[in-house]
Amino acid sequence: ISQKWNKDRHKYDYWSNKYPYCAGSFQSPIHITSDLLRFSPTLRPIEVRNYKLSSTEQLTLRNDGHSLKLSLPPTMYVAGLPNQFTAAQLHFHWGSSNWPTGSEHLVDSKQFAAELHIVHYNSDKYPDINTAIDKSDGLAVLGVLIKIGDFNPAYEQILRFINGAKYKMRVPGFNVRGLLPARLDEYYRYDGSLTTPPCFPSVLWTVFRNHVTISHQQYLALVTSLHASSVQNAEVTPLNNNFRKPQPIDSRVVLVSFKEG
């Protein structure tokens, strides 16, 4: 991926030269608008299992050049989907210090400050995430929309280590459930893709209806601490605005687990 990851906002238009799926169908993120929504009574509350990690469990936090990424242990999984999906990693997308609009998904024209993605792979069918990543039923991602507001102690379990994450560091386990909104029964569901190259259309998306908050200080730590990958490039580019713009809906609908109102 280009070392000028977020130097130039038009870079996204060139992804498909090297990664043809990025110009294909079923791409993510999308703009979730009320005309796309269809209530589905079959959508059960999301069931997260073993999300409360012991502080003796060591996780790897790193800047991979285009996001802040935390490894997750294979004991964590999501039940209640068509298959069991085992956790692999979580990562963030965000805006900049002047423009706190960095979520990938938009809801009714609203872009949030940031977005958390918890990535899982279909462990009923595939042995690991690398095998699952390009399969149509390979991945399930939980998306959490983040606003600036009250300080969030759960997010601080990651953000307090962000300066060490410029490269790679070990951080203690914590209750990952705390990163999610209180209600796991209200969400948007659609078929989509990875939002970074190679953009495989392999993701069953669950975007929670209810946002979480982090404080302004926490947001600033996220958007000012890291640098974009610059392999061929000696200049240091701050890592921000690392979100992809909404993609065409094509013929998709967005199922919702809740009735409006």
- Beta strands 47-49 and 68-71 are unpaired
Alpha-carbon distance values, 225 to 47, 120, 135, 231, 248 (Å): 33, 27, 34, 18, 32
| 31 is known as an active-site residue | no
How far is Cα 148 from Cα 33, in angstroms, rounded to an integer? 22
Sign of CA dihedral 151, 102, 171, 141: positive
Catalytic residue from among 31, 66, 211, 216? 66
Q: Kindly give, in sequence order, each residue whose CB lies less than 8 Å from that of residue 245, ignoring residues fewer than 6 positions away.
A: 12, 29
SS3 63: strand
Fill in the DSSP letter of residue 22. G
Closest-CA residue to 174 (of 46, 51, 24): 51
Q: Which residues are catalytic?
A: 66
